[in-house]
Amino acid sequence: MNEITVFIMGKGYRVPAGLTIMKAMEYAGYRLARGCGCRGGYCGACATVYRLPGDYKLYADLACQTPVQDGMYIAQLPFTPAERPAYTLGDLKAEGQTLLALFPELARCVACNTCTKACPQKLEVMDAVQASLRGDIRGVAEFTFDCVSCGLCTMRCPAEISHHHVWQLARRLNGAYLTPRAEHVQTRVAEIAAGKFKAELDKLVTMTKDELVAAYKARQIEA
């Protein structure tokens, strides 16, 4: 078996080549009760920093997606402690100053682009910051659609911007106020509210597990 040496939290281990950082940590005996979620690159829970031998740079990535390399020094970050102001979405307006009013640290951005370099999703994070400053809520939501809220950009930001909380608010405002409503969804919601499916739902509640499995397998699937 082709093995390499990695250093996890300062201690050296021999692990099989080709593993992700997460799998290498588990192979080395670490029980990941924190900093481990979907294992598919969607939840952002496994933010990790590492260095490579002979390289001065500090790299940041997701442990479930990043292969180990020989001589890699690894430190996992269980979460990002970033402040999020309290707000009620229904009391906010999708207008220019909303993001800046709740997150005034946005104005401290020095356009260093460190946030973009730290993003494991390769998002244009600084462009999203600039869109926030312009009050372009729809633009922020589009720039950050694939953000997994790992917080690595916030950790590297000299202006201490809570990026992922800003993006979350922008996407909420965009979804609540700026995105056109799908007519078929509104129709179905009205049907549910009117009780159109109540009899079917009541029947499902009384079914046994075997009956539910049989009903699921026999369901009609649209072409």
Domain range list for the chain: 3-76, 89-178, 183-217
The pLDDT value given to residue 1:
66
- 125 touches 116 (CB < 8 A): yes
Give the Å distances, CA to CA, from 104 to 154, 163, 165. 15, 12, 13
pTM, whole model, 2 decimals?
0.73
- The matching CATH number, chosen from 3.30.360.10, 2.40.180.10, 1.10.1060.10, 3.40.50.450, for 89-178 is 1.10.1060.10
Burial of residue 2 (number of CB atoms within 10 Å: 0-12, 13-18, 19+) = exposed
**Cα Rg of the chain, angstroms:** 23
Same-fold call for 3-76 versus 89-178: no
CATH number of 3-76: 3.10.20.740
Evaluate the CA torsion angle 140, 149, 175, 144 in order and state its sign.
Answer: positive
Length of the chain in residues, anyone? 223
Largest Cα span, the chain = 68
pLDDT of the chain along its 223 residues, tens only? 699 999 998 899 999 999 999 999 999 998 887 778 788 777 888 888 999 999 998 888 999 999 999 999 998 887 778 888 999 999 999 988 999 999 999 999 999 999 999 898 899 999 999 999 999 999 999 999 999 888 899 988 999 999 999 999 999 999 999 999 889 999 999 999 999 999 999 999 999 999 999 999 998 887 6
